[in-house]
Amino acid sequence: MCGRFVSSSTPDELADYFGVDKVAETVLQPSTDENGGDEPPAGPRANFNVAPTQDVFAVIEHEDERHLDAFFWGLIPSWAKEAKIGSRMINARAETLPEKNAYKSSYKKRRCLIPADGFYEWQKLDPSKGKKSPKQPMFMRSADGTPLAFAGLWSVWRGPDNEQDPLRSVTIITTTPNDTMAPIHDRMPVILGQDDWATWLDRDNDDLDLLSQLLVPAPNDLLTTTPVSTQVNNVRNNGPDLIEEAERVDA
């Protein structure tokens, strides 16, 4: 599972790193000044505690160009009667993409990259206690400090009558853990290497056998893991302090 991550790179930085041709104007709009000042901060604020149903950045392909835009996190299939179904579709299991009605259409034609500067997972410290086990929040980032590229799917929803303004949404694909993640959680996001981005984004590529070969655990040396504060448990908490190393939770 991947239920919380960090998005601290600016749109310009992401556009450069991912070879984006066009950045949506909505992504570049300045965020609102919560203090009521006359000069709002330039560009979207860094988010160190991205949660489901929030807007996230995604890279998609359109007419052979790469676009960076904002999408609702929680995939809403085009046939859904209500948008709230998206809150249950923040992740999609790689093993069942071709057969799940919610995902199989997007898997064929609407694939994306979801940039992240790291992600969180909660490690059970006493699995014998089940859900009552104390949990240690862990932060995972790339060992070289570059952004991660989660494999994702996107969809467009226009309401049950096809008359509402289009709402574009995404889900993050997960797979089995690598050796680094296995002690922490039994799933991890699919993280694509740069050599695989073009294959994944190509909307003319409907070779599901080839695509499935990309949906594998990341190399064991890709990620570093750091115990962080339980402050990250509350989605209202935000800021770079959330990814700083902290004392481990007492089991």
Residues serving a catalytic function are 2, 121
DSSP run (H or E) holding 200: helix 197-201
Residue with tokens 């959680």: 185
Q: What span, in angstroms and rounded, lies between the C-alpha atoms of 83 and 77?
A: 9
If 0-12 CB within 10 Å is exposed, 13-18 middle and 19+ buried, where does residue 32 land?
exposed
Helix, strand and coil percent figures for the chain, each rounded to 5: 20, 30, 45
Distances (CA, A) of 192 to 108, 129, 139, 140, 183: 17, 35, 19, 15, 21
How crowded is residue 224: how many other Cβ atoms within 10 Å of its Cβ?
14
